[in-house]
Chain A
Amino acid sequence: MDLSDEALIQNFRQTKDPAYFKSVVRRYENRVYSAALRIVGTAEEAEEVVQDTFMKMHQNIASFKLRSSLAAWLFRIMHNVCMDKLRSRQRRKVFQMWSFDPSSAGSREAGEEGMHVAVNVADTSPNPSEQLAANEQEEVIERSLRALPEAQRTVVVLHDLEGFSYQEIAEIVGGSIGTVRSRLHYGRLKLRELLEPYFESRDIAPASR
């Protein structure tokens, strides 16, 4: 029998049996990872976001209000962790800019290039579905998503990929519904500019309403 999120949390609070908490993790880990991957952009950081998110959820499980949406609460934690990652990345960029060594720049780029090659060669995609996921249209859409500003990309991911409502997104990102509405509008506008040429070249008709 599948228990609701609230029932699992309630049982975990009462019994401290980690099995209940793990059931919640199984339900959401893929969603959290997928959203984090699109927000922070790298698999390594997305994995760290997933770990940090569920650990913070575990630490603060007592503060969760059972009447509210567990998904929205969980994704709010994830969003905060993602923002920490992005801020850390920005600080690292500034730090690297200060300590830039022109003599080692070439070798570093060469090393990174070699690593990309190694990753491509050592691609251990476990099943054909992942290869299908890398088809051309998805690649174009992923690239277009990455071209959005972080705030717009987050709202687009949370609404169009994760299915949250405007109200839930406002709670997750800590803004107003008007802000969500505006970010979603401009994010989609940018996506349309980027994707329409591709759709027209592929003769992909607008979806019927």
Chain B
Amino acid sequence: MQPDIICQQIAPQLDSFHDGELGAEEKESVEKHLATCAYCVSKLAEIDRVVHSLKTMPRGAMPQGLSAKLDSMIDSATAGTASGAAAGGANVLPMRSRLFLPLTAAAAVVALVVGVKFLVPSNRPPVTAHIEKINAPQVANQPAAEQIKPQATVVASGEKPLKPKANMVAAAESPLRPTPAPHAVRAGSVVALLAPEHPKMHAKPVAAVQQPQQVAVNDNTQAPEVQVAELPNGTNSFNEAVGIATDEDGLYDIKM
């Protein structure tokens, strides 16, 4: 006999019917169908055979010594002794904790290294600052502009973007000599030559730069966005919050 649509509706209820877990109304409906449907009766018999075979399965035998181990753990836990807590704790320590322990330690080490790198200030005396993309009007509008006096020569060019760092290195060797040629610096860049009497300078925020004094500009270009500043004595550092950083050559890189 083939199942009809009622058989398909009844099928999910057969297990509950077998287990006596149906409500009175559903139970009556299933019983009425079973009275006329050999197919569903056969399915109910299959369910019964599987359940019967499961119910007759023996329990898995406990490992030897497990009961004694449980007794020991209960004694320790009830007594609340330190040794008992340690033994019990070792047994119930979740695998999750054991798995993430080395990861947590590694994360702590990384956090420590990164923290030291960013919290300890550099003590190297910077000589030359390399300033990029400083907009002079923007700088002049900053409120703390009086803290730094413009002093050194600034050269900028709108042509021939060369290597500003090479120029800066040369400038560092001869700080009083102006930059050799105006076209040696790419447009939008500023080379600041700091006076030798200021071996250490405190890199206040860019806002501390006041006004450009000596600016040599390529003839064919308009006045570039250039600023040269002398930083006050006494401190040395950098402030990344405003985009000032020092590289290994003591060059300042200021980004606005």
Give the distance in Å from the alpha carbon of A72 to the alpha carbon of B151 in the complex: 84
Residues of the B chain whose Cβ atoms lie less than 8 Å from the Cβ of A141 = 53-54, 57
Give the distance in Å from the alpha carbon of A46 to the alpha carbon of B63 in the complex: 10
Summed over the interface, the residue pairs from A and B with CB atoms below 8 Å come to a total of 141
Chain B interface helix/strand/loop/mixed: helix
Q: Which of A25, A43, A48, A206 contacts B48 (CB 8 A)?
A: A206
**CB within 8 Å of B: which A27-47 residues:** 29-31, 33-34, 37-38, 43, 46-47
Q: A93: CB under 8 A from chain B?
A: no
Residues of the A chain whose Cβ atoms lie less than 8 Å from the Cβ of B62 = 29-30, 33, 50
**CB within 8 Å of B: which A118-138 residues:** 126, 129-130, 133, 137-138
Residues of the A chain whose Cβ atoms lie less than 8 Å from the Cβ of B50 = 188, 191-192, 195
Chain A interface helix/strand/loop/mixed: helix
Residues of the B chain whose Cβ atoms lie less than 8 Å from the Cβ of A92 = 95, 99
- Would B66 and A54 count as touching, CB distance under 8 A? no
Give the distance in Å from the alpha carbon of A204 to the alpha carbon of B49 in the complex: 9
Give the distance in Å from the alpha carbon of A159 to the alpha carbon of B60 in the complex: 16
- Would B73 and A51 count as touching, CB distance under 8 A? yes
Q: How many whole Å from B246's CB to the nearest CB in chain A? A: 40
Residues of the B chain whose Cβ atoms lie less than 8 Å from the Cβ of A52 = 91-92
Given contacts A34-B59, A196-B46, contact A50 B74 (CB under 8 A): no
Write the residues of chain A forming the contact surface with B, with a CB cutoff of 8 angstroms. 16, 18, 21-22, 25-26, 29-31, 33-34, 37-38, 43, 46-48, 50-52, 54-56, 58-59, 84-85, 87-88, 91-92, 95, 126, 129-130, 133, 137-138, 141-142, 156, 159-161, 165-166, 181-182, 184-185, 188, 191-192, 195-196, 199, 204-207, 209
Write the residues of chain B forming the contact surface with A, with a CB cutoff of 8 angstroms. 12, 14-16, 19, 21, 42, 44-55, 57-64, 66-67, 69-71, 73-75, 77-78, 88, 91-92, 94-96, 99
